[in-house]
Structure 1
Amino acid sequence: MKPFIVFLVLLISLTNCAQKKQPLLGETDFQKELNAEYKDATTSPLTDKDRKQFEGLDFFKFDSTYIVTATLERTPNTAFFNMKTTTDRVSKERIYGVLSFEIKGKPYKLNIYQGQDLMTKAGFEDYLFLPFLDETNGLESYGGGRYIDARIPNGDTMEIDFNKAYNPYCAYNEKYSCPLVPRENYLKTRIEAGVKAFKKN
């Protein structure tokens, strides 16, 4: 094969590879990391069909308005209860505390939860679970509400970044069992931040 033909074949091959390995979409590190996780077959909650066509999740535009500093009122020794899920399974949770904060000048409160099982799992001993509902549910965002991951703070304040709100795995795949957001964690406002509803193929 003539050198020019060899060069042309290599160039076409490299171009095709570059087109197949397009960078994942995302405005922030959180968005890029979540998109990478959902594209990877070993970590993705997506069905095989949806993952093969996956290019990136749909997010609200990043908005610093939805990064708030909340006061944490701890509720020590609260009993664990059976948080309902989308299946017959229950999740053993307790209210770790109550978060008080403001969005656009209006006050809100959310319960933040601690899971019994995760308390004994290495790396998750200080993990807290913040599920919430808001007025975008069933419209721009997933109807069942969204989650935010958190860690036990040293002091009595916590930063809540609603831009990092993500959907339960059930929003993508019915094989998962996901905790249902308690009604008391409903915010009577539109949280236009975080992951939007997923449009299945």
Structure 2
Amino acid sequence: MNKKNLFWAFVALVIAASILYTFTGTEDPEFYRTTIEAERERQFKFLKYNLDSPLKAEQKEDMDSLDFYPVDPAYKVRARLEPVADRRILEIPMTDGSLERYIRHSFAVFELHGQTIKLLLLQAEDEADRRNFFLAFADKTSGDETYGGGRYLNLRQDGQSSLNIDFNLAYNPYCAYNPDYACPIPPRENILEIPIRAGEKNYDK
């Protein structure tokens, strides 16, 4: 399996976890925290033990945990979907200088910390389920507390024109662990001027 396929295999795992998470809800704060922490543990075990992990052998040996912000329910928001005026193919720059094609699908609009935020949702050209979206974003923590190339979320539409966004599930791209991998760079629409102190922090090599 090549590195691009490995990346998308990991994305598929994250999507599966996100679907399960969506249906569990957040009514019970303790159950919510436990659910997020279980997903983080699954992510750690994949990176440390899976043959498809982007980590090199010495990295696996040295890794004993991943670094995350504390689980904060305030970073789970409900967003409405706003169609883009020009739903077209967008070539997203990759960290190795190549380009990868995505569909500009819609904007997710939501409130966070008293601000209205609008982020561009992308969809892979070959995505079979049109309810699945890819969100790559960067924020004021990028390059300091979090990976400089931004972080990712895999989202699933669960309403007629709405979906949940939970930044507690934000994860690092493969290139944060291994520069031999090429990863999509967040589009300019998704460069936030506020810090998102939720989800995965920078990988400590």
Q: TM-score range by the shorter chain?
A: 0.7 to 0.9
Q: Is the 8 A contact 1:86 1:180 kept in 2?
A: yes
Aligned residue in 1 for 2:9? none
Q: Where does 1:4-15 land on structure 2 (aligned, <5 Å)? A: none
User: Which residues of structure 2 form unaligned runs of 5+?
Assistant: 1-34
Deviation at 1:27, TM superposition (A): 6.5
Q: Where does 1:151-166 land on structure 2 (aligned, <5 Å)? A: 151-166=156-171
Matched, 1:183 2:188: yes
TM-score by length of 1: 0.79
**1:88 and 1:130, CA in 2 relative to 1: closer, same or farther beyond 3 A?**
same
Question: What is the CA–CA distance in structure 2 between the aligned matches of 1:88 and 1:135, rounded to whole Å?
Answer: 24
TM-score by length of 2: 0.78
Matched, 1:56 2:61: no
Aligned residue in 2 for 1:115? 124
Aligned residue in 1 for 2:148? 143
Deviations 1:105-135 (A, max 9, x none): 1111100000113x25xxx554310011111
Question: What is the CA–CA distance in structure 2 between the aligned matches of 1:192 and 1:137, rounded to whole Å?
Answer: 10
Deviation at 1:197, TM superposition (A): 0.2
Aligned mate of 2:40, from 19, 25, 31: 31
Question: What is the CA–CA distance in structure 2 between the aligned matches of 1:133 and 1:144, rounded to whole Å?
Answer: 7
Deviations 1:135-194 (A, max 9, x none): 111111011110001123341111100000011110100111101111220111110100
Quick check: 133-142 or 42-51, which moved more?
42-51
SS for the counterpart of 2:134 is strand
Deviation at 1:56, TM superposition (A): 1.3
User: Which residues of structure 1 form unaligned runs of 5+?
Assistant: 1-25
SS for the counterpart of 1:102 is strand
Question: What is the CA–CA distance in structure 2 between the aligned matches of 1:151 and 1:27, rounded to whole Å?
Answer: 17
Q: Which has the higher helix share?
A: 2
Matched, 1:41 2:50: yes
Question: What is the CA–CA distance in structure 1 between the aligned matches of 2:140 and 2:94, rounded to whole Å?
Answer: 21
Sequence identity percentage: 36
RMSD: 1.8
Aligned residue in 2 for 1:131? 136
Deviation at 1:41, TM superposition (A): 3.4
Q: Is the 8 A contact 2:157 2:164 kept in 1?
A: no
Aligned residue in 1 for 2:75? 66
Q: Which runs of structure 1 show a deviation greater than 3 angstroms over 4 or more consecutive aligned residues?
A: none
Aligned residue in 1 for 2:99? 90
SS for the counterpart of 2:175 is helix
Q: Is the 8 A contact 1:91 1:115 kept in 2?
A: no
Question: What is the CA–CA distance in structure 1 between the aligned matches of 2:96 and 2:44, rounded to whole Å?
Answer: 26
Q: Is the 8 A contact 2:36 2:169 kept in 1?
A: no
